[in-house]
């Protein structure tokens, strides 16, 4: 079992008894809203996606829950996926389902742990992320970790009744290695 320990948060695989909580976050528009949409259709399909994720590089399922080191129990979850059938890189995603835990640095620390883990355990030379241009906490998190805004994908995401522009961010392996402090 892979467990990633940071200064204040821990990333670990989801436990079976936590699936209902995580499924609820995926389907709660107040958690993922207003900027994104991660919903799946049914609890059964959610469980199947979580349990098959380790053999599916393109899976959008949660790969780790995020918990405070001082207080057990999920406050969020993160994942990674290969977004393109030809291009060789990974993208990360992240949600703090416990909205009271937001704005305290947990998200940034969790995503930093995840990106560091991916560079340490895969051969990919680039890790990316995409976010709605209106999602200020998300792109500030990415910029705080040293990812660069590389593009604006116009009208790439549909939610809340309209098309939204999306920023594409990325960091290369040498850039990540050169960070101070290293992630």
Ligand X SMILES: CC(C)(COP(=O)(O)OP(=O)(O)OC[C@H]1O[C@@H](n2cnc3c(N)ncnc32)[C@H](O)[C@@H]1OP(=O)(O)O)[C@@H](O)C(=O)NCCC(=O)NCCS
| Sequence-ordered alpha helix ranges (H) in the chain | 19-26, 29-32, 43-52, 106-121, 136-144, 173-177
- What is the closest distance, in whole angstroms, from the C-beta atom of residue 123 to ligand X in the complex? 25
Site for ligand X in 21-40 (CB under 6 A): 32, 35-36
Kindly tell me which residue out of 12, 68, 82, 104 binds ligand X, with binding defined by CB under 6 A: 104
CA distance 125 to 174: 8
Nearer to ligand X, 53 or 145 (CB): 145
110 with 77: CB under 8 angstroms?
no
CA distance 178 to 182: 7
| 3-state DSSP assignment of residue 94 | strand
Kindly tell me which residue out of 24, 29, 57, 103 binds ligand X, with binding defined by CB under 6 A: 103
- What is the closest distance, in whole angstroms, from the C-beta atom of residue 136 to ligand X in the complex? 4
3-state percent breakdown (helix, strand, coil) of the chain, nearest 5: 35, 30, 35
The pair of three-digit structure tokens given for residue 126, joined into one six-digit string: 């680039």
CB-nearest residue to ligand X: 107
- Map residues 112-151 to x or -, x wherever contact with ligand X holds by CB under 6 A: -------------------x---xxxx-xx--x-------
Site for ligand X in 43-82 (CB under 6 A): none
Nearer to ligand X, 90 or 141 (CB): 141
Angle at alpha carbon of residue 176, lines to 2 and 112, rounded to 5°: 45
- What is the closest distance, in whole angstroms, from the C-beta atom of residue 96 to ligand X in the complex? 4
CA distance 171 to 183: 12
Nearer to ligand X, 48 or 148 (CB): 148
Interface with ligand X (CB under 6 A) = 32, 35-36, 94-96, 102-108, 131, 135-138, 140-141, 144
């Amino acid at each position: 079992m892979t467990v990633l320990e940071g200064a204040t948060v821990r990333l670990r695989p989801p436990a079976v008894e936590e699936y209902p909580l995580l499924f609820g976050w995926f389907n709660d528009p107040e958690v993922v809203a207003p900027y994104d949409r991660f919903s799946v259709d049914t609890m059964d399909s959610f469980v199947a996606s979580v349990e098959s994720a380790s053999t599916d590089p393109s899976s959008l399922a949660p790969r780790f829950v995020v918990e405070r080191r001082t207080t057990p129990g999920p406050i969020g979850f993160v994942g990674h996926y290969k977004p393109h059938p030809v291009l060789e890189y990974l993208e990360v995603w992240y949600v703090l389902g416990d909205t009271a835990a937001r704005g305290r640095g947990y998200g940034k620390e969790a995503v930093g742990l995840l990106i560091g883990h991916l560079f340490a355990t895969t051969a990919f030379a680039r890790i990316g992320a995409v976010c709605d241009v209106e999602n200020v906490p998300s792109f500030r998190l990415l910029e705080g970790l040293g990812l660069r805004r590389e593009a604006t994908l116009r009208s790439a995401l549909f939610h809340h009744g309209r098309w939204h522009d999306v920023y594409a961010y990325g960091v290369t392996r040498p850039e990540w290695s050169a960070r101070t402090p290293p992630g």
